[in-house]
């Protein structure tokens, strides 16, 4: 298909310092969980992005010195010459597809706890080192600042030798150069503190040093948080953020601008932000500089991208998550296949992987992070060697993914679903506040399945074990999902409770009536209890959220959502009861118990809602065991978990069908 001519502007080359980016698609730096320990995995991931058409592909944060060590999280290093060869793999993988390679040089300052290196943390002013034991980062003196400038220069020279085209000066996300900029963290009274000009001094010197070191062949990009979202006490886009851009406007070769404070502000989930959500803060930058500007905002729609360029908001379309969900997004637009873009749903499971210290994963893209370890490609899958048939039972995320991947391998696939809809749990969950984008998991797979002639879909077709035996498929895969527990067993409560009148999310989705004071018991700890509390409170119910833990929705710490969840619940007047177990329901009250002291209490309760966990809907699988050949189960039916895990489980099943499931390749890091 020819490209839609309206999208042509996205494929214009753009000059960045001494280089020409082949188009406007710019993969901004993002973590992968691979870091210096797994250079081949990192290189394969970035190479896939370049192959998919991203004109600029950047690495994740790359430490310039052992005083900036983010262990146990995975980060790159350019501490010595031995770091050059492993990083050159990434630059080569990016160049192999004609893209420019960028590297994000990083010093965390008080943000680097240096757990591995045990080097004392540094900061502009003495301050508590974040994410660590109570440790105070040491105030940098003049010689520390001189040394620091030398580390940036040396790392830039090594980056150049490794083959990178764009070298970053990183003053975003609360890291060291930003700590110097912000009046909240810089309380110095020397030439590097006080007035804005003084606080900008180090950033200016870093740009000049980096240009001096590598500017002959490398572009120097500045990543700057123009608003730290702490109001007028800090850097704001209408105050000092704007003044910084004015002061340094023409100094770097490219501005990569965003909002900061915590990383969660920059990579807000779809539950709390819409596509293009940073424009309000970053939109002014282009009016103050002739240098190219890039920013992010979960851009997945080509129309929005064109609009960004045409309105002069930015010169590139910056993307981290959209490039994770679909590394081939630019190619699909170029080839006139925009309908095939696998759009990021904004769930932040990718952020959770990083925050848990494991390699990157993605709800929409099960091949993400598996490019080297398993040799999986997001757009290619090996043909199945024989003409065989497969029956997939259940059309939730797992069933849809399995059916699609099996069909792409050339099997004759029948996907059967008992309800009237494709999507399984998604049909319900996308109705919760802020989760409508989750429907993209279903929509993309439904769109792609419709293009596979060897796939057939049968709705309103509940299958019994006998039906499946009679069907006679060569392969049967059960994807019948899960149901919410009624016994209140969860993470904290291990005692089954007899609660005949209680409702579960399944009942609520099936339109069960909710009345009177509502008590929600959250012992599952992901989004479900919090999302229902939000929905019911917004509808005017009196809602109490009970949890054995310190806060509800604890897992949302990992998805960088918890602050926003709590803020929203508290604003809506939801009452939170932490450290509390549910023991029963009687006489219009929920009976409770303190998780620590065992002290009993009650709260008024007309509707009790249990969000304590799910159990597999695997009866069909059990009934078929031994009756059909080649029987498997996938997704929540195998292990109730995230949608990401369900999709991955299905993809893995389809990839490995007909092969031995060998352990994935492991990288052994170089000796240090």
By CB under 6 A, name the binding residues for ligand ADP: 393-399, 416-419, 424-425, 462-463, 479-482, 617, 620, 635-637, 646
Of residues 349 and 529, the one with the C-beta less far from ligand SF4: 349
Which of ligand SF4, ligand ADP, none lies near 344, with the C-beta cut-off 5 to 8 A by kind? Answer: ligand SF4
598: left (phi over 0), alpha (psi -120 to 50) or beta: left
DSSP letter for 601, please: E
Element (H, E) at 574: none
- How many Å apart are CA 634 and CA 148, to the nearest integer? 51
548 contacts 491 by C-beta, under 8 angstroms = yes
Rounded Cα distance between 360 and 301, Å, is 23
Residue pair 595/492 in contact by the 8 Å Cβ criterion: yes
Q: Tokens standing for 59? A: 């690495």
CB 552 within 8 A of CB 534: no
Q: Which is nearer to ligand SF4, 215 or 346 (CB)?
A: 346
| Interface pick for ligand SF4 out of 156, 203, 347, 545 (rule CB under 6 A) | 347
E strand map for 595-629 = 600-604, 607-611, 614-616
Binding ligand SF4 (rule: CB under 6 A), the pick from 48, 63, 125, 348 is 348
DSSP string covering 499-546, please? -TT-B-HHHHHTT----SSEEEEE-S-SSHHHHHHHHHHHTT--EEEE
325: contact with ligand SF4 by CB under 6 A: yes
Q: Does 324 bind ligand SF4 (CB under 6 A)?
A: yes
Considering beta carbons, is residue 221 or 296 the nearer one to ligand SF4? 296
- 382 or 512, CB closer to ligand ADP? 512
454 binds, among ligand SF4, ligand ADP, none (CB under 5 to 8 A by kind): none
**Is residue 614 within 8 Å of residue 483, measured between CB atoms?**
yes
Q: Look up residue 48 and give its two tokens.
A: 């896939």
- 123 contacts ligand SF4 (rule: CB under 6 A): no
> What's the Cα-to-Cα distance from 528 to each of 543, 613, 629, rounded to whole Å?
14, 10, 37
Q: What is the dihedral of CA 82, 87, 91, 92, to 10 degrees?
A: 70
- Our finding on whether 293 is near ligand SF4 (CB under 6 A) is no
Q: Which of residues 353-372 bind ligand SF4 (CB under 6 A)?
A: 362-364
Q: Which of 321, 409, 614, 655 binds ligand SF4 (CB under 6 A)?
A: 321
Residue number with CB closer to ligand ADP (466 or 498): 466
The interface with ligand SF4 within residues 195-224 (CB under 6 A) comprises: none
Residue 131 falls in the annotated catalytic set: no
Whole-number minimum distance, CB 476 to ligand ADP, in Å?
12
Can residue 39 be called a binding residue for ligand SF4 (CB under 6 A)? Answer: no
Least distance in Å: CB of 637 to ligand ADP? 6
Q: Which stretch binds ligand SF4 (CB under 6 A): 27-35, 131-139, 342-350, 520-528?
A: 342-350
Q: Which residues pair with 390 in a beta bridge?
A: 413, 475
* Shorter beta-carbon distance to ligand SF4: residue 260 or 325: 325
Query: Pick from ligand SF4, ligand ADP, none: which does 171 bind, CB < 5 to 8 A by kind?
Result: none
| Active-site residue identified among 73, 175, 192, 526 | 175
What is the 8-class DSSP label of residue 368? T
Q: Give the largest Cα separation in the chain, rounded.
A: 83
- 193-197 — which CB contacts under 8 Å span 24+ positions? 193/124, 193/125, 196/240, 196/243, 196/244, 196/247, 197/247
- Distance from C-alpha of 134 to C-alpha of 121, rounded to nearest angstrom: 12
Out of ligand ADP, ligand SF4, none, what residue 396 binds, judged by CB under 5 to 8 A for its kind, is ligand ADP
CB of 644 to ligand SF4, least distance (A): 6
**∠ CA 227-531-353 to the nearest 5 degrees?**
60
Task: Determine the size of the site formed for ligand SF4 (CB under 6 A).
Answer: 13
Shortest reach from residue 326's CB to ligand ADP, in Å: 20
560 is a contact residue toward ligand SF4 (CB under 6 A) = no
With respect to ligand ADP, which residue has the nearer C-beta, 147 or 628?
628
- Residue length, the chain? 672
Piece of 171-179, 231-239, 257-265, 318-326 that binds ligand SF4 (CB under 6 A): 318-326
Comparison of 551 and 642: residue with beta carbon closer to ligand SF4: 642
Least Å distance between CB 513 and ligand ADP?
23
Query: In the 8-state DSSP scheme, what is residue 336?
Result: T
Report, in Å, the least distance between residue 120 CB and ligand ADP: 47
Compare residues 101 and 416 and give the one whose CB is closer to ligand ADP.
416
Q: Is 624 in the site for ligand SF4 (CB under 6 A)?
A: no
Report which of 164, 7, 649 is spatially closest to residue 366, judged by C-alpha positions: 649
User: 463 touches which of ligand SF4, ligand ADP, none (CB within 5 to 8 A by kind)?
Assistant: ligand ADP
Choices 20-28, 340-348, 477-485, 653-661; region in contact with ligand SF4 by CB under 6 A: 340-348
Residue 350 binding ligand SF4, by CB under 6 A: yes
Among 17, 86, 261, 346, binds ligand SF4 (CB under 6 A): 346
Which residue is associated with the tokens 């991947």? 405
CB nearer ligand SF4, residue 53 or residue 215: 53
Which of these ranges, 2-10, 154-162, 183-191, 347-355, lies near ligand SF4 under the rule CB under 6 A? 347-355
Q: Does 344 bind ligand SF4 (CB under 6 A)?
A: yes
DSSP SS3 for 486: coil
Where does this chain touch ligand SF4 (CB under 6 A) — which range of 32-40, 319-327, 383-391, 447-455?
A: 319-327
Question: How buried is residue 289: exposed, middle or buried, by Cβ count under 10 Å (0-12/13-18/19+)?
Answer: middle
Is 288 within 8 Å of 246 (Cβ atoms)? yes
Q: How far is the CB of 286 from ligand ADP (least distance, A)?
A: 43
Nearest Cα residue to 130 out of 79, 70, 76: 70
Give Cβ neighbours of residue 78 (< 8 Å, ≥ 6 apart). Answer: 62, 63, 64, 84, 87, 103, 105, 154, 155, 158, 159, 162
Nearer to ligand SF4, 197 or 339 (CB): 339
Does residue 349 touch ligand SF4 according to CB under 6 A? yes
114 makes contact, choosing from ligand SF4, ligand ADP, none, with CB < 5 to 8 Å by partner type, with none
The residues carrying an active-site annotation are 175
Name the residues that contact ligand SF4, by CB under 6 A. 321, 324-325, 344-350, 362-364
């Amino acid at each position: 298909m020819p490209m839609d001519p309206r999208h042509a502007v996205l494929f214009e080359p753009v000059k960045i310092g001494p280089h020409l980016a082949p188009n406007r698609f710019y993969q901004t730096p993002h973590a992968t969980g691979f870091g210096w320990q797994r250079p081949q995995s990192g290189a394969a991931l970035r190479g896939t992005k370049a192959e998919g058409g991203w004109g600029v592909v950047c690495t994740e944060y790359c430490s310039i010195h052992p005083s900036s060590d983010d262990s146990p999280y995975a980060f790159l290093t350019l501490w010595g010459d031995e770091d050059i060869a492993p990083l050159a793999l990434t630059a080569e993988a990016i160049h192999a597809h004609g893209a420019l390679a960028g590297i994000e040089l990083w010093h965390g300052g008080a943000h680097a706890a240096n757990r591995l290196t045990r080097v004392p943390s540094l900061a502009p002013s003495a301050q508590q080192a974040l994410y660590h034991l109570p440790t105070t980062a040491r105030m940098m003196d003049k010689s520390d600042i001189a040394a620091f400038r030398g580390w940036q220069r040396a790392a830039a020279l090594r980056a150049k030798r490794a083959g990178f085209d764009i070298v970053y000066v990183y003053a975003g996300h609360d890291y060291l150069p930003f700590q110097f900029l912000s009046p909240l963290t810089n309380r110095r009274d020397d030439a590097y503190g006080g007035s804005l000009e003084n606080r900008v001094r180090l950033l200016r010197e870093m740009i000049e040093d980096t240009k001096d070191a590598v500017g002959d062949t490398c572009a120097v990009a500045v990543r700057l948080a123009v608003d730290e979202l702490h109001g007028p006490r800090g850097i704001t886009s209408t105050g000092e953020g704007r003044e910084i851009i004015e002061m340094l406007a023409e100094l770097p070769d490219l501005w990569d601008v965003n909002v900061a404070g915590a990383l969660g502000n920059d990579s807000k989930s779809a539950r709390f932000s819409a596509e293009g959500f940073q424009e309000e803060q970053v939109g002014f930058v282009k009016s103050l500089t002739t240098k190219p500007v890039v920013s992010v905002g979960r851009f997945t729609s080509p129309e929005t991208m064109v609009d960004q360029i045409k309105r002069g908001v930015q010169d590139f379309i910056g993307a981290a998550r959209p490039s994770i969900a679909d590394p081939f997004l630019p190619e699909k637009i170029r080839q006139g296949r925009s309908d095939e873009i696998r759009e990021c749903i904004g769930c932040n499971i990718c952020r959770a992987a990083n925050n848990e210290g494991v390699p990157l994963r993605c709800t929409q893209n099960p091949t993400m992070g598996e490019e080297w370890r398993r040799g999986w490609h997001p757009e290619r899958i090996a043909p199945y060697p024989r003409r065989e048939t497969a029956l997939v039972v259940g059309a939730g995320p797992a069933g849809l993914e399995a059916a699609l991947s099996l069909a792409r391998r050339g099997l004759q696939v029948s996907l059967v679903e008992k309800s009237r809809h494709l999507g399984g749990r998604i049909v319900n969950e996308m109705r919760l506040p802020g989760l409508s984008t989750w429907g993209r998991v279903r929509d993309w797979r439904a769109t792609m399945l419709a293009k596979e002639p060897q796939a057939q879909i049968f709705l309103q077709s509940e299958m019994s074990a006998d039906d499946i035996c009679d069907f006679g498929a060569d392969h049967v895969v059960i994807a019948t999902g899960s149901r919410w527990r009624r016994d209140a067993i969860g993470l904290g409560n291990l005692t089954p409770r007899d609660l005949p009148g209680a409702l579960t999310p399944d009942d609520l989705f099936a339109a069960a009536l909710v009345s009177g004071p509502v008590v929600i018991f959250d012992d599952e700890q992901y989004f479900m209890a919090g999302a229902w509390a939000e929905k019911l409170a917004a509808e005017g119910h009196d809602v109490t959220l009970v949890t054995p833990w310190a806060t509800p929705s604890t897992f949302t710490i990992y998805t960088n959502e918890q602050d926003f969840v709590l803020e929203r619940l508290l604003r809506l007047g939801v009452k939170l009861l932490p450290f509390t177990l549910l023991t029963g329901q009687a006489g219009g009250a929920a009976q409770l118990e303190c998780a620590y002291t065992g002290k009993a209490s009650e709260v008024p309760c007309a509707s009790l809602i249990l969000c304590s966990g799910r159990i597999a809907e695997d009866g069909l699988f059990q009934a078929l065991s031994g009756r059909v050949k080649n029987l498997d189960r996938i997704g929540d039916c195998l292990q109730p978990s995230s949608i990401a895990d369900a999709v991955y489980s299905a993809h893995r099943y389809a990839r490995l069908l007909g092969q031995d499931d060998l352990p994935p390749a492991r990288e052994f890091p170089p000796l240090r």
